[in-house]
Amino acid sequence: MFKYTSPYELTENYKTALQSKYCVLDNFSLARFDSNFELLEKHLSNIVKSKYEPCDRIVVDHFDTDYYLNGFPYGLGLHNLFTVFRKLDIPLYVMLLVTNHYGIAREVNCLAPDPCDRPTIIETLISNLHYAGVYNDHNVDADMISIPGLCMLGQGRVHRHAIFRFIESELMTHIAVSTNPS
């Protein structure tokens, strides 16, 4: 039941292995819904069952950073995902969370205190991104670096803003900062 292809999803070998062990009801990337959980609710409502079998799984690819706020022991996206599952009365054990976020079990345990109703978690760095030619080895002579820098690509995220504010307030006299306000 794996439907889409993106560099941040599981490899075909992973998908085949999961399908041999579980009845995969659905597979989606959490990043696809991180700004619209009403759309996730609509998406999941199409596969809601009155009874789930022990082998039923909804595979959630979580290969993106989550949004974090001070005082929250878990990411907001993960919290919203669990909220949607509960709202639709989908048992949490049906969720199979595949992630590159090592240690996410601590967050899951906060959100799902019942050990009999927790998602299966697969922590891995292996996704199609590793085979898409996106990452290339570069031989860099560190002595040739004249200005050290940090690149925070893509759209603004809470953690990127937080690190930029730290750099701005603590290190601005030591490093050069360039931003793209678009």
Please check whether residues 107 and 162 belong to one and the same domain.
no
What's 9's DSSP letter?
Answer: S
Helix (H) or strand (E) holding 108: helix 104-111
Average pLDDT rounded to a whole number, residues 133-156: 62
Q: Is residue 118 part of a domain?
A: yes
Domain count for the chain, please give it. 2
| Cα separation, 34 vs 80, whole angstroms | 9
- Average pLDDT score over residue span 103-112: 91
Statement to judge: residues 156 and 71 lie in one domain: no
Q: Report the distance separating Cα 101 and Cα 21, nearest Å.
A: 23
Distance of CA 13 to the CA centre of its chain: 20
Residues 117 and 31 grouped into a single domain: yes
Residue type, 6: S
pLDDT tens-digit readout, 42-74: 999 999 999 999 999 999 988 766 777 777 888
pLDDT of 141 strictly over 60: yes
Domain identity same for 42 and 116: yes
- Chain position carrying tokens 């709202």: 87
Residues 6+ apart with CB under 8 A from 85: 44, 91, 92, 94, 95
Is 153 in contact with 134 (CB distance < 8 Å)?
A: no
Q: Do residues 114 and 163 share a domain? A: no
- In 53-159, at which residue ranges do the beta strands (DSSP E only) sit? 56-62, 95-99, 120-123
Mean of pLDDT over the chain: 79
Instruction: Give the CA radius of gyration of the chain.
Output: 19
Q: Which residue has the higher pLDDT, 104 or 7?
A: 104
Query: Are residue 116 and residue 151 in the same domain, yes or no?
Result: no
pLDDT at site 149: 65
For Cα atoms 79, 111, 88, give the angle at the middle one, nearest 5 degrees.
Answer: 65
pTM for this predicted structure: 0.68
Task: Assess if residue 50 is contained within a domain.
Answer: yes
Same domain, 161 and 119: no
Residue 62, domain member (yes or no): yes
Report residue 136 as tokens: 């290339």
pLDDT at 62: 86
Rounded mean pLDDT, 160-168: 69
Same domain for 115 and 167, yes or no, is no
pLDDT value of position 8: 53
